[in-house]
A and B are shown apart, each in its own frame.
Chain A
Amino acid sequence: MPEWIQAVLVSHYTWALLALLVGYGLTLFGIPIYTWWERRGAALIQLRPGPNRRGPYGLLQAIADAVKLAVKEDVVPDGASRFLHALAPMIVMTVALTTFAVIPWSGDVELFGQTVRLQVADLNFGILFILAISSMNVYGIALAGWSSNSKYALLGGLRSAAQMISYEIAMALSLVALILIYGTVKLNEMVTLQAGGLFGWGVFKAPLSFLLFMVASYAETNRVPFDLVEADSEIVAGFHTEYSSLRFGLFYMGEYVHMAVSAALTAILFFGGHHLPWAYALFGPSAYARLFPWMMLCAAVPLLLLAWDVNRLKRKRFTKGNAIFALAFLGLAGIALALAFSFWFFDVEGAIPWLAALATVVTQLGVLVVKFLFFFWLFIWVRWTVPRFRYDQLMRLGWKVLLPLAVFNIALCAGLVLGGWL
């Protein structure tokens, strides 16, 4: 292999760019899928089929929605502060996307004698960066509410400011306990510390922290049951009442990106990130390279099922497109199977160590994405299960329940760490 390719492959910039692609892939390019997922999930929970017309299973619905949104008139209300009105959705989206920079998508791998990792920026204040940046989100929402010159938007903005500040405290304090346990604020080191067994995971070390973090992150993302910011039965649409077209789209996408960040963070902080429990104990130091063919097999099975099911769709809608999708699913399954078998019948680890290293990265990314998707689904699942809190209930929960619990949790964890039990 030529020198320059090696240099490019081990370059920090290459891996930062790859991590950026992964992060954007899971957020910006994932949003069409997530909106479809949310609507289908909501529908199935409510005993109806949901969007199932455009594309197989309605997968292309989000594209139709996006086109509709993009061609709408962009209305700026009379008397609005035009500059801030335009700035607010940008803040929300920028903040949401920036937090992805410190998420480690894989562990350290040896590549041509150098250590690389799928992470955009390995900041030595990782988790603090996320807390700091994500709390900027409140500016976007409060500004949107204030600049719209509408009482509903203003009420929504006020509510968001009060709510997000209240729950940020509980969130940060729940993470303090975690920082005490791990002894680091770098996310990749936190993940490494969870590499051992299942009971090394953060959720088993600090279950109360996990609970507090989950509740606070639902409030931070303004999702049900804490979506008072856009309580449609009370204040129309809250802070984005006066937004239309793609500016509304930015808020909408920002919410999903926030959910994605929260889901990824939950997986990383409490559920072992890209580690499978006991992987190293069972499969040796190159466990993830060995698990690669199994992961590919796990990916190929649902793809084959999809390819078969798409052709079977009873009502022949979008017939030509279904065939294309079936072929695409079949092709992906084929690639996955080919990779799996080539890793099984060819000693890649011994012959091409750099390929094994790449396989490690892909496997770890796959493990993290599965966990991420579960927590993303949890957001949707909870949304269609729990009704919205009343405003006084929300504040009581934030200040009188979560905050004392978080302080108690810190004391508890500090005591346990001091005593050497954690």
Chain B
Amino acid sequence: MGVIKILRPKQDLWERMYLPALFGGLGITLRHLIHTWFQPAKRPTFEYPEERRPIAERFRGRHRLRRRPDGTPVCVACYCCQTACPPQCIDIEAEESPDPAIEKRPAAFRINMLRCIYCGMCVEACPKDAIYMTKDFEFANDTREKLQFGLKELLDPRDEED
């Protein structure tokens, strides 16, 4: 009738005194303590700033925008990434490019890094392979404004040009 009968194992006097189990437990915790103290290398923890966990090959961190050889962004401001973005954290303003071979270029390219879910849809949507994701995840800051990344933060640094 919907009643679940829980069978509890009968405890003998030794078990019901609790004290042997208590001392056993104290022994276990003491063993853990001694092992952790004397064998720091075997700890499962990483001491983060000095030691780092290995980052996966496909890790998705902060975004970067590729540059052309002349330094201008590869992005053609097609809004594909902005359309694909699930949390709608990308905001692009387009303008006409002075280069007759290129139709448009981004006047502004903003990503709200606080809203971004790092899904990588923008990278997949980009027809020009202009946006990619790095393995950098350490860009915490103390105000929200500083985490609204614009072209300045997103464009590849000049010395990393390929």
Contacts and interface: CB of A to CB of B under 8 A. Distances in A.
A381 B45 contact: no
Given A44-B32, A44-B33, A44-B36, A49 B25 contact: no
Given A45-B32, A46-B32, A47-B36, A382 B45 contact: no
A280 interface: no
Contacts of B35: 47
B29 interface: yes
B45 A386 contact: no
B47 A49 contact: yes
Interface in A376-414: 381-382, 384-386
A41 B25 CA distance: 15
B47 A382 contact: no
A72 interface: no
Given A44-B37, A48-B36, A384 B29 contact: yes
Max chain A C-beta neighbours (<10 A), residue from B22, B29, B40? B29
Given A44-B36, A48-B36, A49-B40, A381 B47 contact: no
A302 to B, nearest CB: 15
A45 B50 contact: no
**Which DSSP category, helix, strand, loop or mixed, fits chain B's interface?**
helix
B22 to A, nearest CB: 6
A48 B36 CA distance: 7
B107 interface: no
B104 to A, nearest CB: 50
A49 B43 contact: yes
User: Is the interface on chain B under 10, 10 to 19, 20 to 34, or 35 or more residues?
Assistant: 10 to 19
A320 interface: no
Contact of B32 (A47, A211, A315): A47
Interface in B31-55: 32-33, 35-37, 40, 43-45, 47, 50
A45 B47 contact: no
Contacts of B45: 47-49
B20 to A, nearest CB: 13
Contacts of B32: 44-47
Interface residues of A, number: 16
Contacts of A48: 36, 43-45
B15 to A, nearest CB: 14
B29 A47 contact: no
Nearest to A47: B36
A6 to B, nearest CB: 49
Contacts of B28: 385
B22 A386 contact: yes
Nearest to B16: A401
Contacts of B40: 49
A49 B35 CA distance: 11
Interface in B1-37: 19, 22, 25-26, 28-30, 32-33, 35-37
B46 to A, nearest CB: 10
Contacts of A382: 26
B47 to A, nearest CB: 7
A45 B30 CA distance: 7
A41 B22 contact: no
Contacts of B25: 385-386
A45 B43 contact: no
A47 B22 contact: no
A395 to B, nearest CB: 16
Contacts of A381: 26, 29-30
Nearest to A225: B22
A211 B18 CA distance: 12
Max chain B C-beta neighbours (<10 A), residue from A41, A382, A385? A385
B47 A41 contact: no
A60 to B, nearest CB: 17
Nearest to B33: A44
Contacts of A45: 29, 32-33, 36
Contacts of A49: 36, 40, 43, 45, 47
Interface in A180-237: 211
A384 B31 CA distance: 13
Given A49-B43, A49-B45, A385 B26 contact: yes
A43 B29 CA distance: 11
A44 B38 CA distance: 10
A43 B36 CA distance: 9
28 contacts: A41-B33, A43-B36, A44-B32, A44-B33, A44-B36, A44-B37, A45-B29, A45-B33, A46-B32, A47-B35, A47-B36, A47-B43, A47-B45, A48-B43, A48-B44, A48-B45, A49-B36, A49-B40, A211-B19, A315-B50, A381-B26, A381-B30, A382-B26, A385-B22, A385-B25, A385-B28, A386-B22, A386-B25
Interface of B: 19, 22, 25-26, 28-30, 32-33, 35-37, 40, 43-45, 47, 50
Interface of A: 41, 43-49, 52, 211, 315, 381-382, 384-386
The 6 closest A-B pairs by CB, nearest first: A44-B36, A44-B33, A385-B25, A385-B29, A45-B29, A48-B45
Given A44-B37, A46-B32, A47-B36, 10 more contacts: A44-B36, A45-B32, A45-B36, A47-B32, A47-B35, A47-B44, A48-B45, A49-B45, A381-B26, A384-B29
